[in-house]
Amino acid sequence: MTARENYERWLKSPYLDESLRQEMAGMSEQEITDAFYTNIKFGTAGMRGVMGAGTNRLNIHTIRKATEGFARYIEKTGPEACRAGVAIGYDNRYHSREFAFDTAAVLARHGITVFVFDSLRPTPELSFAVRYHHCFGGVMITASHNPKQYNGYKLYDAEGCQLVPELADAVTAEVNAIEDELAVKADNTEEQKKLIHIIAEETDKAYFDAVKSIQLNPDVPRNVKIVFSPEHGTSNIPVRTILKDCGYEVIPVLEQCDPLPDFANTPTPNPEQEGAYELALKYARENEADIILVCDPDADRMGVGVRHDGEYVLLTGNQSGSVLIEYIFSQRQAKGTLPANGIMANTVVTSDLGEKIAGGYGVETVKTLTGFKFIGEKIAAYEKSGEKEYVFGYEESYGSLIAPFVRDKDAQQACLMLAEAAAWYKHRGMDLCDVLEECYQKYGYYNESQTSIFLEGESGAARIREIMGALRKERISVIGDVPVILWQDFATFEEGDADGVRELTGFTKSDVLKYFLDDGSWIAVRPSGTEPKIKIYYCICGKSAEDAEVMSAHYHDAMEALLA
């Protein structure tokens, strides 16, 4: 069916939401094409996209279609799955609450028990709620750190982990079998309404107590001053409550504490971007704060700023993850609680520095594909087998998990542990940048960065496929005059070097290419699973900070020319 045919099908439907009908009346041909040329799909973090009318947009009908498919999947699993039910959470974005309660209604029509939060909550608390209420699964309505025009729909399994590909494929098959998303209903009988339960304080308290239990040095002097921003999102109450209960002085960025869906008082809600720190930096300078903590809207990611030599340094996700590893592992080793069979998990596009720090403490690193669900899957497997004990997991994209009572990134845990680390090191005359410098001196100077090529719409999607296809066809052997000594293709399960091509094992299929260079650096390329862009990751290792920076610039130029 063409975009125009899909558009006309929607207009003729008696079930079409009236606000969407009005929006469609003003669409240009290009807007019709972009909104209707395909169906919105699940990616590395579920279903995510721009809100609006269309089969390729997030709206009440595409949400209902996804939920109907999930409900059919649960029904086929059996009556026990229906009774265990689904926990639902949502953030501060436009339509998030509406989508959440509509999701609850669709599930209830299938006789599925529902536990839905009374107001916005962090994504990790939704993961916690799935486990706490012994649910079969969960739904989180959020677009994480994306701009205000986005929303999303994340599905969770009984472990509180986002669906791994095998389960996501099973749900997707049910979703794709639905011929008319507009005919999916969300009205309930009185009996069906009884299946929907509102959850609030009890779950909050249990989650907050679990977060507070991760402290390693609860008696360390709380002599750090913290500026905190939730970026208008869900972390405002949880992070401020937890830090206050643990004795920390927190200075909130008040203009960014209201849960505004348009993120009115921040240039961006994404802690990967400098604009997210503008107002927090102003607060920090005025109050001479030791650290800045910034969370994305659904509170699974945390950004950090550190006062160092009178200036504020913003740490990357790789850097803050490395500092957490150094603090947690050193303290657990000193206390005798670091397990002999411990593992640290990160992704194939995460810096090598964390792995080297972990190795220095005798902890093995396991690599996964991008997406924290793969780390959650590893946690569940090791818990079942007893072969390894999880100690820490993180991604370069500012997300980490310390204690696995949730199975997703958890900014509440990260904020508490970073605050404790800052206090512990300050008591010893150091700041977190000093800790990072010590790691560099011991393991090498790493310059990690990321660039993106945005390619929107149908033509953009085609161009992304063209670029990835060309990279596979050409088999790059040199980048910036430096030989590629090993390449890995996670879509074809191949890797190759001077000895030839062989099978790449231990991963599920993913559109990722990674190039290891002769100087100890690597570069990876992959299409984003949630946005219309190609992402290029750089992990550049130099003999000094200056050397690594020069090398990084050289590689950026080389990749820009290569992908032009």
- Residue 163 tokens read as 């669906």
Residues 376 and 406 in one domain: yes
User: In this predicted model, what pLDDT tens digit does every residue of 191-201 receive, in sequence order?
Assistant: 999 999 999 99
Query: Do residue 134 and residue 221 come from a single domain?
Result: no
Q: Are residues 249 and 124 located together in one domain of the fold?
A: no
Q: What is the CATH number of the domain that holds 449?
A: 3.30.310.50
Q: Same structural domain for residues 511 and 398?
A: no
Q: Which residue has the tokens 């500092």?
A: 323
What's the pLDDT tens digit per position in 269-280?
999 999 999 999
Q: How many residues does the chain have?
A: 564
Q: Could you read off the pLDDT of 342-375 as tens digits, one per residue?
A: 999 999 999 999 999 999 999 999 999 999 999 9
What pLDDT is recorded for position 41? 84
Q: Which domain holds residue 499?
A: 445-563
Judgement on whether residues 226 and 189 belong to the same structural domain of the protein: no
427 with 480, same domain: the answer is: no
Q: pLDDT below 70 — which residues of the chain?
A: 43-45
Cα angle vertex 88, ends 347, 417, to 5°?
Answer: 45
Catalytic residues: 144
Query: Which residues does 240 contact at the CB level (< 8 Å), separation at least 6?
Result: 228, 250, 252
Same domain, 470 and 457: yes
Task: Please say which residue of 425, 443, 461 terminates a domain.
Answer: 443
- Note whether 232 and 297 are within 8 A (CB): yes
Q: Are residues 360 and 217 part of one domain?
A: yes
The alpha carbon of residue 160 and the mean position of all alpha carbons in its chain are separated, in whole angstroms, by 14
The pLDDT value recorded for residue 44 is 54
Please identify, among 443, 478, 496, the residue that sits at the C-terminal boundary of a domain: 443
**Confidence at residue 94, expressed as pLDDT on a 0 to 100 scale:** 98
CB-hemisphere CA count at 13 Å for 542? 16
* Last-in-domain residue among 443, 473, 488: 443
pTM over 0.75: yes
Same domain, 317 and 191: no
Give dist(CA 304, CA 161) in Å, integer.
25
Specify the pLDDT at position 45. 59
Please check whether residues 387 and 497 belong to one and the same domain: no
Same domain, 420 and 472: no
Looking at the 3D structure of the chain, how many domains does it have? 3
pLDDT attached to residue 531: 78
The SS3 of residue 305 is strand
d(C-alpha 298, C-alpha 308), whole Å = 29
Please name which of 503, 521, 511 lies closest in space to residue 449, comparing C-alpha atoms.
Answer: 521
Phi-psi region of 150 (alpha: psi -120 to 50; beta: other; left: phi over 0): beta
- State the CATH number of the domain containing residue 117: 3.40.120.10
289/247 same-domain check: yes
